[in-house]
Amino acid sequence: MKSQHTQSGRGSTAQTISQILFLILFGALTFLGRIQLWFGIFLIAGMGVSLIWGRLYCRDVCPMGTAMRLESWIFKKLGIKRLATPSWMRHWIWNVLFLLAFGAAMLLTKRAGTPFPMLPALLGLSVVVSLVFEEGLFHRRICPFGTILSVTSRISRRGMKIDSSSCIGCGACERVCTTSCITRESEESKIRVIAAQDCIVCKKCEAVCPVDAITYRT
Ligand code: SF4
Ligand code: SF4
């Protein structure tokens, strides 16, 4: 147990370093007017990686993820709880609608000769939405990149898994989950399950499980 927590600590430091470096790169590309190159990074580090290892892009690379992680850290320090995702926003239809809306905005503004600054707009939106709602709302329902990765990551066999025979149903994992993707197996059961397509492999759940029921399976 202790060594697992030490590993989580190391993993968290590596995640932080990676997030800072990619945030600097994002800022530099924006400053130089070459932000379109970020779509290449998404293609490789996002879609490519997700086919094998899951949504590591959301955890280690995405500037929206980094901004929201910082926000969550501040809210936690202040002891402020944000609102859960409203029940009417829990349907996948929102993913489709946001994906279409952002795609249309990009196409129409490009035709008009003033390209829509998609990435900076998303960064601003993620920060504003997460001032009120839990981080999971943006990760799971609003972000068009997240929606694409929730499809491509389904091909991956690797991911966080809960061993149902070890789980004692304490709910600790559900309470800390970054994307609110841990739920009860059924209404009657206390055993938890992970919606793999929405998991960003942050491993917070693994760190808090009292019986080591959660691991990254390959
Ligand atoms: S690793 Fe665990 S805490 Fe993090 S998003 Fe996945 S299920 Fe949630
Ligand atoms: S923290 Fe571990 S024991 Fe508790 S509900 Fe989650 S998987 Fe089960």
Q: Tell whether ligand 1 has an atom less than 6 A from the beta carbon of residue 177.
A: yes
- Counting every residue, how long is the chain? 218
Domain ranges of the chain: 2-154, 157-217
Q: Tell whether ligand 1 has an atom less than 6 A from the beta carbon of residue 201.
A: yes
Question: What atom in ligand 1 is closest to the CA of residue 203?
Answer: 1
Pocket mutation for ligand 2, best pick of 170, 183, 186 (most atoms within 8 Å of C-beta): 170
The secondary structure of the chain in percent helix, strand, coil, rounded to multiples of 5, reads 65, 5, 30
Phi/psi of residue 199, nearest 5 degrees: -80, 135
Residue 2 confidence (pLDDT): 43
Residue 9 confidence (pLDDT): 64
Residue 47 confidence (pLDDT): 97
Q: Tell whether ligand 1 has an atom less than 6 A from the beta carbon of residue 64.
A: no
d(CA 161, CA 194): 7
d(CA 142, CA 51): 21
Q: Tell whether ligand 1 has an atom less than 6 A from the beta carbon of residue 162.
A: no
Pocket mutation for ligand 1, best pick of 204, 216, 217 (most atoms within 8 Å of C-beta): 204
Which regions of the chain are under pLDDT 70? 1-11
d(CA 146, CA 50): 11
Q: What's this model's pTM, rounded to 2 decimal places?
A: 0.89
Q: Exposed (0-12), middle (13-18) or buried (19+): which is 198, by Cβ within 10 Å? A: buried
Residue 106 confidence (pLDDT): 86
User: Quick one: tokens of 136?
Assistant: 């999971």
Residue 111 confidence (pLDDT): 83
CA of 99 to the centre of ligand 1 (A): 23
Residue 112 confidence (pLDDT): 81
Q: Within 13 Å of residue 91, how many CA atoms lie on the same side as its CB?
A: 4
CATH code for the part of the protein at 157-217: 3.30.70.20
Residue 4 confidence (pLDDT): 52
Q: Tell whether ligand 1 has an atom less than 6 A from the beta carbon of residue 213.
A: no
Pocket mutation for ligand 2, best pick of 168, 186, 204 (most atoms within 8 Å of C-beta): 168
The residue assigned the tokens 């492999």 is 201
Distance between first and last Cα of the chain: 20
Phi/psi of residue 192, nearest 5 degrees: -100, 150
Q: Tell whether ligand 1 has an atom less than 6 A from the beta carbon of residue 160.
A: yes
Q: pLDDT, tens digit, for every residue of 18-39?
A: 999 999 999 999 999 899 899 9
Atom 6 of ligand 1: nearest residue by CA position? 199
